[in-house]
Amino acid sequence: MKIGFIGLGNMGAPMAANLARDHAVTGFDPAATPPGLTLAKTAKEAVQDADVVITMLPDGAILRAVADDIHKAMKPGAVHLDCSTVDVDSARAVATAATAQGLQAIDAPVSGGIGGATNGTLTFMAGGPLPAFEAVKPLFAIMGQKAVHCGAAGNGQAAKICNNMILGVTMIATCEAFALADKLGLDRQAMFDVVSTSSGASWSMNTYCPAPGIGPTSPADNGYKPGFAAELMLKDLRLSQQAAETADADTPLGQAATTLYARFVETENGRGRDFSAMLPRFANRQRS
């Protein structure tokens, strides 16, 4: 399969490298030139004659601009597979634009972080026509360990932001609980042993525990160096609240989590730290 890959940052570069082991991949990124990949001088050059064009971009505005640039250069029937995490409206607008150009489109944001991109263990949440999903399924198998078809265009983004809204809320609750346990004199290991096997169990506790030295190895054991940066969690939470506003959905916990992560990232030196670094943040605070 001939693949064009636009957006070769921390996530895109390893994803493209994994694909390049089995397929002809031409990449483009105006800000990055990772070694080991065939690189084009322009986005249009990267997509010429490609069967599938993958984009991994920072936000919806950039995605729309890139789509406007490349769709007319793509061959009829090719698939635009967007793996960015963007707003639902942008995903649906790009899908509509692709269809108007005789192309197929899938929005498939990912979960799994840089480690998942490097190791080929990402999870893809895909929205768009089933035939297009089936066409790119072999690529999902190379880049990840699971791909779920979530329905129509934009539903991949919907699944991603709903999932990460849950993740942001549960991580805050987990960190609050550890901070409370500390002040009540409850040993962190005892706390983990109880909660991880009881009704309070969650991915944030059991798999990605924010307390250093407790549970499986996580960024907490590496000085909170990001596996998933707090500013990326904030981006996803803001997307969830943007979608909630559009859909007229009441999401008070999602809104509260967005406010807390905004404070953490923008005024409390949380930028550049893992999103689980909320634990030392709470541990160092008194009740207000």
Q: Which residues are catalytic?
A: 160
The CA distance from 132 to 47, in Å, is: 17
Residue type, 30: P
- CB within 8 Å of 41: residues ≥ 6 apart: 28
For strands 110-111 and 122-126, give the pairing: antiparallel
DSSP state of 222: G
The CA distance from 262 to 201, in Å, is: 26
Residue type, 48: Q
DSSP state of 229: B
Residue 59, φ and ψ in degrees, nearest 5? -155, 175
Do 235 and 84 meet the contact criterion of CB atoms below 8 Å apart?
A: no
The CA distance from 188 to 213, in Å, is: 9
- CB within 8 Å of 91: residues ≥ 6 apart: 60, 63, 82, 107, 127, 153, 154, 156, 157
